[in-house]
Amino acid sequence: MSHTLYLPSIYQCSRILSFFVFLSFLPAIQASAWIQYPPSGHATMTHYTLPLGFIAACGCTPNSTYYPTAALSQMAYGSSTSYGPACGQCFNLTLLDAFTANPPFYPNSTNSVVVKISDLCPLSSKGWCNATTSGPNAGGAYLNFDLAWPSTSIPNSFFPSDAALYGMPLLDFGVWNISYQSVSCQEWEGYQNQSALGSVADLGYTSCCPNDPTESSDGVCPSYSDNAGLSFVCYLRVKVSY
C-alpha cells in the first residue's frame, strides 16, 4: 500500500526527509497573481489533521492548535511557503450544504465556527485548493478553508448528516459549501488565552502570526515568497510505501 503526501513548507519538509522512501519534486505551477477576495462571500471547506502543538506555516504559537484554526488555499493565502497576508486573520465560517453528496445534503441546523488562519493549503493541479485568478475550484469558489479537524475545540457533531438518508450518523462528506465573513480575532475562542496568540520567535526562520490583523497596531503579514523573490510554486511530493 502506498500513500502520497504533499508538503507545502520547505521547513516542514526538511524535518522529515529521512523517514520516507521516495522523494520527487513536482513541476512548478505558475499563477498570475494572488487572489484578492472580499471580506465576506462564498467558499468551500475541507478538513485536515493538525496535531496538537504543531507549528504550521505561519509560525503561530503551538497553543493556537487548542482552538479552531484553518489553512487557506494558497493563492488567497498570499505566499507559496511560510507566512503570508492571511496569517492570523480570523473568519466566521458557516456550513451551507454538502454539494458532493448524493443526493446533496442541506442541513436543518446552521453550524458556524470562528477560525484563525495558521497554515496554507498548497496549490495543485487538482483538489479544492487549486483556485487561481484564472478560475475557481471545482465548487466554483476562489477560496477554500481547510479546517483543522478533528479538534479538541470543535465537537464531532459540527458536520451534520442524515442517518436515515445516508445510512450512518456523522457521515464525513469531505467538502462543503460555506459562507465566510472576516471578523475581529476578538471573536476567536483562543483570543482570551495569551499563550495562544502571536508567533514563535525561535524557529530558526522568520514567522508572522498577528494577534488580530484587523487592529492597525498588529498589521498584516507580508508575503514571504514575494519578499524572498520566489516567483515559482514548489511542492515536495513524498510517497510512502508500507
Per-residue confidence of the chain (242 residues) as pLDDT tens digits?
A: 333 333 443 333 322 222 222 223 333 444 458 999 999 999 999 999 999 999 999 999 999 999 999 999 999 999 999 999 999 999 999 999 999 999 999 998 889 999 999 999 999 888 999 999 999 999 999 999 999 999 999 998 899 988 888 887 666 799 999 999 999 999 999 999 999 999 998 776 689 999 999 887 778 999 999 999 985 454 433 333 33
> What's the predicted TM-score (pTM) here?
0.83
Specify whether the CB–CB gap between 8 and 214 falls below 8 A: no
At residue 191, the pLDDT reads 97
| pLDDT, position 196 | 97
Nine-digit cell string for 91: 473568519
* pLDDT score of 67: 98
pLDDT for the residue 178: 98
Backbone angles phi, psi at 220, to 5 degrees: -115, 140
pLDDT at 197: 96
Predicted pLDDT at 28: 42
pLDDT reported for residue 217: 75
